[in-house]
């Protein structure tokens, strides 16, 4: 099953971790009827890391792609814009295929608007 993911851009989330975690948990609960779930994964085993590096981290939500519609796309844009205004962070939206290949589609931040919504819909629905 392919999934749409929405993750914080970057791994250095400590400053706003509580706000981000709470917001993504609320959104996952709001979209639980379409199969959304909260994600918080860290990979500290990367061979390329130094002591100054942050471990790779995926903090956000996953949604089955087959359940995601234009309505959720518009809600996602509003959610990401508001959370970005609160935290100063951007959010990567992408798709992970059944085979585990991930493709980042767009980054949403405080300035996200109709252009980003159109791009997201184009990538996901071809409209």
pLDDT of residue 51: 52
Q: What is the pLDDT of residues 59-73, one digit of tens each?
A: 999 999 999 999 999
- Give the pLDDT of the chain (127 residues) as one tens digit per residue: 899 999 999 878 888 999 999 999 999 999 999 999 999 987 655 545 455 544 578 999 999 999 999 999 999 999 999 999 999 999 999 999 999 999 999 999 999 999 999 999 999 998 7
Q: How many CB atoms lie within 10 A of CB 125?
A: 11
* DSSP bridge partners of 7: 60, 92
pLDDT of residue 44: 57
Measured between alpha carbons, how far is 25 from 78 in angstroms, rounded to an integer?
16
* 4 to 16, 70, 80: CA distances (angstroms): 23, 13, 14
pLDDT of residue 12: 82
Contact 63, 3 (CB under 8 A): yes
SS3 at position 125 = helix
pLDDT of residue 48: 54
């Amino acid at each position: 099953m392919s999934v749409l993911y929405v993750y914080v851009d970057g791994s250095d989330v400590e400053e706003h971790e509580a706000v981000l975690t709470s917001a993504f948990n609320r959104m996952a609960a709001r979209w639980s009827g379409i199969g959304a779930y909260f994600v918080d994964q860290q990979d500290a085993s990367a061979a390329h890391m130094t002591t100054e590096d942050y471990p790779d981290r995926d903090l956000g939500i996953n949604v089955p792609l087959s359940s995601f519609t234009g309505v959720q796309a518009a809600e996602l844009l509003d959610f990401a814009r508001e959370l970005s205004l609160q935290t100063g962070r951007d959010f990567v939206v992408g798709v992970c295929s059944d085979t585990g290949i991930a493709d980042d589609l767009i980054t949403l931040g405080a300035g996200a608007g109709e252009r980003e919504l159109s791009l997201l819909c184009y990538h996901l629905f071809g409209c």
